[in-house]
Structure 1
Amino acid sequence: MSETLLQVEHLKKYYSLGKRWFGKSEQQVIKAVDDVSFSVLKGETFGLVGESGCGKSTAGRSILRLIEPTAGRVQFNGQDLTSLTPKELRLQRKDMQIVFQDPFSSLNPRHTVQRILEEPLIVHGVGNAKERRNLISRLIEVVGLSHSHLQRYPHQFSGGQRQRIGIARALSLQPKLIVADEPVSALDVSIQSQVINLLQDLQEEFGLTYIFIAHDLSVVKHICDRIAVMYLGRIVEISEKNRLYETPQHPYTKALFSAVPEPDPDIKTERIILQGEVPSPANAPVGCAFHTRCPMVMDICQTLRPELTETEPGHLTACHLFTGSDATGRAV
Structure 2
Amino acid sequence: MIEPLVKVENLKKHFPIKGGVLGSTVGQVKAVDGVSFTIKKGETLGLVGESGCGKSTTGRMLLRLLEPSEGKVYFEGKDILSLSSSEMRKMRRDMQMVFQDPYASLNPRHTVEKILEEPLIVHGMRNRQERKKRVKELLEVVGLSSYHAGRYPHQFSGGQRQRIGIARALAVNPKLIIADEPVSALDVSIQSQVLNLLQDLQKEFDLTYLFIAHDLGVVRHISDRVGVMYLGNIVELSTSEELYDEPLHPYTQALLSAVPIPDVDVKRERIILKGDVPSPSNPPKGCAFHTRCPQAMERCGSERPAFQEMKDGHYVACHLYG
Q: CA RMSD in A?
A: 1.4
Name the residue aligned to 1:166.
165
Name the residue aligned to 2:83.
84
Q: Say whether residues 1:212 and 2:211 are aligned partners.
A: yes
AA aligned to 2:238 is S
Return the alpha-carbon distance in structure 1 between the equivalents of residues 47 and 82 of structure 2.
24
Deviation digits for residues 46-99 of structure 1 (CA, Å, limit 9, x no counterpart) = 000000110000000011100111110000012101111111111101000000
Return the alpha-carbon distance in structure 2 between the equivalents of residues 26 and 146 of structure 1.
52
Q: Say whether residues 1:106 and 2:102 are aligned partners.
A: no
CA displacement at 1:284 relative to structure 2: 0.2
CA displacement at 1:304 relative to structure 2: 0.8
Name the residue aligned to 2:59.
60
Return the alpha-carbon distance in structure 2 between the equivalents of residues 2 and 209 of structure 1.
15
Mapped contact 1:55–1:232 kept (Cα < 8 A)? yes
Mapped contact 1:308–1:318 kept (Cα < 8 A)? yes
Return the alpha-carbon distance in structure 2 between the equivalents of residues 2 and 147 of structure 1.
40
Mapped contact 1:9–1:73 kept (Cα < 8 A)? yes
Show structure 2 runs of 5+ residues with no match: none
Q: Say whether residues 1:120 and 2:119 are aligned partners.
A: yes
1:1-332 equivalences in 2 (<5 Å): 3-20=3-20, 27-126=26-125, 128-322=127-321, 324=322
Return the alpha-carbon distance in structure 1 between the equivalents of residues 306 and 102 of structure 2.
37
Return the alpha-carbon distance in structure 1 between the equivalents of residues 166 and 24 of structure 2.
46
The 3-state SS of whatever aligns with 1:281 is coil
Return the alpha-carbon distance in structure 2 between the equivalents of residues 104 and 152 of structure 1.
15
- State the 4+ residue runs in structure 1 displaced beyond 4 angstroms: 23-26
The 3-state SS of whatever aligns with 1:165 is helix
Identity %: 65
CA displacement at 1:25 relative to structure 2: 6.2
Return the alpha-carbon distance in structure 2 between the equivalents of residues 8 and 163 of structure 1.
28
CA displacement at 1:133 relative to structure 2: 1.4
Mapped contact 2:3–2:77 kept (Cα < 8 A)? no
Return the alpha-carbon distance in structure 1 between the equivalents of residues 216 and 177 of structure 2.
20
CA displacement at 1:20 relative to structure 2: 3.0
TM-score computed with the length of structure 2 as normaliser:
0.98
The 3-state SS of whatever aligns with 1:286 is coil
Deviation digits for residues 16-38 of structure 1 (CA, Å, limit 9, x no counterpart) = 002239x9966110000000000
The 3-state SS of whatever aligns with 1:266 is coil
Return the alpha-carbon distance in structure 1 between the equivalents of residues 172 and 305 of structure 2.
41
Return the alpha-carbon distance in structure 1 between the equivalents of residues 87 and 305 of structure 2.
37
Mapped contact 2:72–2:81 kept (Cα < 8 A)? yes
AA aligned to 2:230 is Y
CA displacement at 1:104 relative to structure 2: 1.3
Show structure 1 runs of 5+ residues with no match: 325-332
Mapped contact 2:107–2:153 kept (Cα < 8 A)? yes
Deviation digits for residues 112-166 of structure 1 (CA, Å, limit 9, x no counterpart) = 0000000100011025112111111111100000011000000000000000000
Return the alpha-carbon distance in structure 1 between the equivalents of residues 160 and 109 of structure 2.
17
Return the alpha-carbon distance in structure 2 between the equivalents of residues 316 and 127 of structure 1.
47
Mapped contact 2:16–2:25 kept (Cα < 8 A)? no
